Amino acid sequence: MASVEKWVGFGSAMAGVGLLWSRMPEHVHEEARYIISSLVPMVMSYFNPYEQITISEHGEERYRRNKMFDAVSTYLSSVCAGGASKLKAELRNNRKDEPLITLDENQEVADTFEGARMWWRLYPKASRNKGVVTVSLMPGDADEPRCFRLVFHRRHRHLVLNSYLPSVVRHWRELTEKNRQRRLFTNHTKDRKSEWTHVPYNPPTTFDMLAMDPDKKYEIVNDLTAFLEGEDYHSKVGKAWKRGYLLYGPPGTGKSTMIGAMANFLGYDVYDLDLTSVKNNADLRKLFLDTTDKSIIVIEDIDAIEVELTTKRKGKKAANGNEINGDNHVRIEFSDKYDDKGEVTLSGLLSFVDGLWSACGSERIFVFTTNHVDRLDPALIRPGRMDKHIEMSYCRFEAFKMLAKSYLDITEHSLFCEIGRLLDETNTTPADVADNLIPRGKRNDEISQLLDEAPADVANNLSLRYKRKRDRDADECLKGLVEILKKARVESTTPPIN
């Protein structure tokens, strides 16, 4: 009975409120509605202990990709996609045959971080105005982009914002760095503007395969390692984090091969700058500013580039006394100022190597190559400008042994002594030696791959045959090399007939 009375009382109270509401003026209604609508979420959140963070595929500027979205996507693929029942697979454009596994839309996965449980869900693209036809000039403008939603208990808010999300980003950076497809850029002119285009870049050479004096190689690898770890050092001494290498030596001694080995060692992209298609210093500056950090900027055959440069000191002499101006090879000349209207100047180029503009961007390696170091303008090679001058020289015995290991898979042979002597008496390039170490028929590295993949009994048999073939190849190639070296020795000692 008491409860019926209570309900009757509640009903008449509500009727009273309704009467009061109907007598209120319209503007009071508006205000009351506003207060109620802002109170509802507060009340809801009081009872709902979960909070959420939305990470949209596009940032505030709608056409810029939100890197946090990519970070989460990569993180979830590697860390907790295994818990989801629907995944997507995609093959990336690099040499690895591993598909990239990502979370499918509307899938939820759970993750645990420092004991806190969180849930991720990928929401698909949604139409912004359901049932309304929108006309947009921009593709995708009518859609809400895809987004990840992270839900967690509010007591973990601090942990999520200060530790969990930063760790997701860190994880993403490490993974992308490891799996990144390296690129080879080159500049060209389009609509009278210089720009970079690129192709995937997987240089085949590593420092192990590079045939050169082992001490010199060790020194270069050490130098690059110190560079990689040099962030603190460079900021402590106030130097831009960059390094310049000048590689010089005759054709075929491995200068370009060394650049590939450097790119492999550092994991950097390579920008191959063709100065002849750069109009002026302003163009050059734009190209430099368009390069990314962690890159090698290469100018090959710098002595041979006929860049018509604005000259303030015509008739200047190079270190060897050659007249630079008018010389067939070197037309890089001095300008004391930047010349944006005219053409590329040496000072314009050097301002990026160690001038004002060199501080823009970090972790850059500059590599200049030349066949004629003596023809270069002294300004280009003065001490401190190019940090290291590396001579790539003719093939001697130590370098030959590295080539024999890479090409023939041998570390000793009865002809080694004779070859060593002949190499000392002739000036043969590693390219020429390497040319003579290529066996006919199936290549040895292909065979050793077959060996890896074959079942044990087949492999044993193959292995014997492989060793016999390798020895035959080595005999044949080394005998051929001896003949070639003997011929080269005779030619080098015979005076030319006038």
Ligand X SMILES: Nc1ncnc2c1ncn2[C@@H]1O[C@H](COP(=O)(O)OP(=O)(O)OP(=O)(O)O)[C@@H](O)[C@H]1O
**Cβ at position 201, least distance to ligand X in Å:** 15
Both structure tokens of 127 = 């139409």
Nearest residue to the partner ligand X, using Cβ: 254
**How far apart are alpha carbons 33 and 122 in whole angstroms?**
34
Give the one residue of 182, 183, 255, 285 binding ligand X; rule: CB under 6 A: 255
Q: Which residue lies nearer to ligand X by CB, 228 or 304?
A: 304
Q: At residue 22, what is the residue type?
A: S
Stretch that binds ligand X, among 9-17, 78-86, 208-216, 409-417 (CB under 6 A): 208-216
Contact flag: residue 431 with ligand X (CB under 6 A): yes
Q: How far is CA 272 from CA 91, 276, 278, in A?
A: 28, 12, 12
**Cβ at position 244, least distance to ligand X in Å:** 18
Q: Who's near 281: CB < 8 A, 6+ residues apart?
A: 338, 339, 340, 342, 343, 344, 345, 348
| Residue 345 contacts which entry, Mg ion, ligand X, none (Cβ below 5-8 A, type-dependent) | none
Consecutive H or E run containing 199: strand 193-200
Q: Which residue lies nearer to ligand X by CB, 230 or 430?
A: 430
**How far apart are alpha carbons 223 and 216 in whole angstroms?**
11
Give the one residue of 73, 77, 194, 257 binding ligand X; rule: CB under 6 A: 257
DSSP string, 73-97: HHHHHHHTGGG-S-EEEEE-SSS--
| Residue 107 contacts which entry, Mg ion, ligand X, none (Cβ below 5-8 A, type-dependent) | none
Nearest residue to 73 via CA among 60, 88, 61, 63: 88
Contact flag: residue 256 with Mg ion (CB under 5 A): yes
CA dihedral 244, 245, 251, 254 (to 10 degrees): -120
* Side-chain half-sphere CA neighbours of 26 within 13 A: 0
| Residue 257 contacts which entry, ligand X, Mg ion, none (Cβ below 5-8 A, type-dependent) | ligand X
Stretch that binds ligand X, among 166-174, 250-258, 382-390, 456-464 (CB under 6 A): 250-258
**Cβ at position 253, least distance to Mg ion in Å:** 9
Give the one residue of 118, 147, 211, 386 binding ligand X; rule: CB under 6 A: 211
Contact flag: residue 434 with ligand X (CB under 6 A): yes
Give the one residue of 252, 354, 393, 408 binding ligand X; rule: CB under 6 A: 252
* Side-chain half-sphere CA neighbours of 391 within 13 A: 8
**Unique residue bearing structure tokens 């004096």:** 213
411 DSSP 8-state letter: S
Count interface residues toward ligand X (CB under 6 A).
16
Q: Who's near 137: CB < 8 A, 6+ residues apart?
A: none
Nearest residue to 79 via CA among 153, 171, 165, 169: 171
**3-state class (DSSP) for residue 37:** helix
**Cβ at position 356, least distance to ligand X in Å:** 31
Q: Which residue lies nearer to ligand X by CB, 76 or 392?
A: 392
| Residue 252 contacts which entry, Mg ion, ligand X, none (Cβ below 5-8 A, type-dependent) | ligand X
Contact flag: residue 430 with ligand X (CB under 6 A): yes
**How far apart are alpha carbons 498 and 496 in whole angstroms?**
6
| Residue 437 contacts which entry, Mg ion, ligand X, none (Cβ below 5-8 A, type-dependent) | none
Q: Which residue lies nearer to Mg ion by CB, 255 or 364?
A: 255
Q: Which residue lies nearer to Mg ion by CB, 259 or 349?
A: 259
**How far apart are alpha carbons 67 and 137 in whole angstroms?**
25
Contact flag: residue 210 with ligand X (CB under 6 A): yes
437 DSSP 8-state letter: T
Q: Which residue lies nearer to ligand X by CB, 253 or 310?
A: 253
Contact flag: residue 214 with ligand X (CB under 6 A): no
108 DSSP 8-state letter: E
Contact flag: residue 217 with ligand X (CB under 6 A): no
Stretch that binds Mg ion, among 42-50, 195-203, 256-264, 358-366 (CB under 5 A): 256-264
Q: Who's near 225: CB < 8 A, 6+ residues apart?
A: none
Q: Which residue lies nearer to Mg ion by CB, 73 or 253?
A: 253
**Cβ at position 263, least distance to ligand X in Å:** 13
**Cβ at position 257, least distance to ligand X in Å:** 3
Contact flag: residue 348 with ligand X (CB under 6 A): no
| Residue 253 contacts which entry, ligand X, Mg ion, none (Cβ below 5-8 A, type-dependent) | ligand X
Contact flag: residue 256 with ligand X (CB under 6 A): yes
Give the one residue of 49, 251, 326, 441 binding ligand X; rule: CB under 6 A: 251
Question: What sections of 318-455 are H helices per DSSP?
Answer: 346-353, 378-381, 397-408, 416-425, 430-435, 444-453
Both structure tokens of 163 = 């530790």
Q: Who's near 351: CB < 8 A, 6+ residues apart?
A: 338, 357, 358
Residues that bind Mg ion (CB under 5 A): 255-256
Residue numbers at the binding site for ligand X (CB under 6 A) = 209-212, 251-257, 371, 392, 430-431, 434
